[in-house]
Amino acid sequence: MDIALLRRRHRPTDGNRGREGWLIGVYPPGEETPILAVTNHPVNVVHDGVTYTSYNCSAEPPDTDAEYALPEARIRISNVLRALIVSLHDNDFYRGFRVAILPYNAAEPTADYSDQVKELEWVTHDMKGHDLIVTLGVAAELTRPVPPDLYAAHSCRHRFRLSAGAYGSRCGYTAQTIEAIGLTPGQPVALTVTGHPYVDGDLVEISGAGGLTPELNDYWLVTKTGDDTFTLNETDGDDYSGVWDESGVVGHYYCDQHRKACIARGQLSSLSGLPGLESEALKVGV
């Protein structure tokens, strides 16, 4: 896949160059209304019923050096944190949200830019003074079944592998037995797994669980409710029928990391000398 983020891509048909910029919208999963809409135009822009607030935006080229990581790109939005800090916390820091970026030319405010929209995933962010630096990755549909350590250049949560074979294989899969499944109408499906490692927003895979219609065997985002319990997001116990056959496991993928890769990733926090957003293109090629 080749995702190019829009360098001076739209020109009015009448030859007037106009003032170009980007419209950036941040959308919660499954939602069509942005909870954050900004533009690098000098004034606010209203497009398709959405008001994009003017902020100074810039971008840096994607990182492609971290071993086995898909490239990532960063956008800095200046002086925005005072307005966003509460929203960032209330929305779990926007992790996993969809970021839609489209070009916009003030000379053609009613033009259809839909075929030029690029959508990426909000991977993480940093806060520098009053600036917000957003790390963007490829679309979530491509990465959701994959552990972040395989594709997120900023992620080094696992131990270093200091010598070949020191900690066994680099990547793997681990699973635990499901001890109970709770189906309460109006409540998310609840699982009991003693000593599970999961926290809010983790992705798990359920396999081998039988007796229920529809099946629970799929990938799920979870919410931790206790040391031994968690629920499956966007489920309702009333939607399932049958009797669970007391089988199945819940698991996740993991990866160890090389020291070199993690050191390289640790150096990515330098954000000096960012090129202007309007004059630079971001390219994420996979």
User: What pLDDT, on the 0 to 100 scale, is given for residue 224?
Assistant: 94
Domain spanning 171-255: CATH superfamily: Ubiquitin-activating enzyme E1, FCCH domain (2.40.30.180)
Measured CA to CA, the distance from residue 198 to residue 204 in angstroms comes to: 8
Q: With contact defined as beta carbons under 8 Å apart, do 235 and 188 qualify?
A: yes
Q: Tokens in use for 99?
A: 């970021």
Measured CA to CA, the distance from residue 20 to residue 150 in angstroms comes to: 36
Domain boundaries, the chain: 2-143+269-277, 171-255
Give buried/exposed letters for 70-84 (b at 16+ CB in 10 A, else e). Answer: bbbbbbbbbebeeeb
Alpha-helical segments (H) within the chain: 81-90, 140-143, 148-151, 259-266
Enumerate the β-bridge partners of residue 276: 58
Q: What DSSP line would sit under 37-71, residue for residue?
A: EEESSSS-EEETTEEEEE--EEEEEEE--STT---
List per-residue pLDDT tens for the chain, 286 residues long.
233 433 444 444 444 455 778 889 988 877 888 988 988 888 888 988 899 988 888 776 655 544 445 556 778 888 777 777 667 667 665 667 888 888 888 777 777 777 778 888 887 777 777 788 887 876 655 555 555 555 454 444 444 334 444 433 455 678 999 999 999 999 999 999 999 999 888 888 899 999 999 999 988 989 999 999 999 999 999 999 999 999 999 988 765 544 444 444 444 433 222 322 333 333 333 3
Q: pTM of this prediction?
A: 0.46
Q: Three-state DSSP class for 18?
A: coil
Non-local (6+) Cβ contacts of 217 within 8 A are 206, 207, 208, 209, 248
Q: With contact defined as beta carbons under 8 Å apart, do 118 and 136 qualify?
A: no
Burial of 170 (0-12, 13-18, 19+ CB in 10 A): middle
Alpha-helical segments (H) within 147-186: 148-151
Residue 92 parent element (H or E): none
CA 74 to chain centre: 13
Measured CA to CA, the distance from residue 205 to residue 173 in angstroms comes to: 10
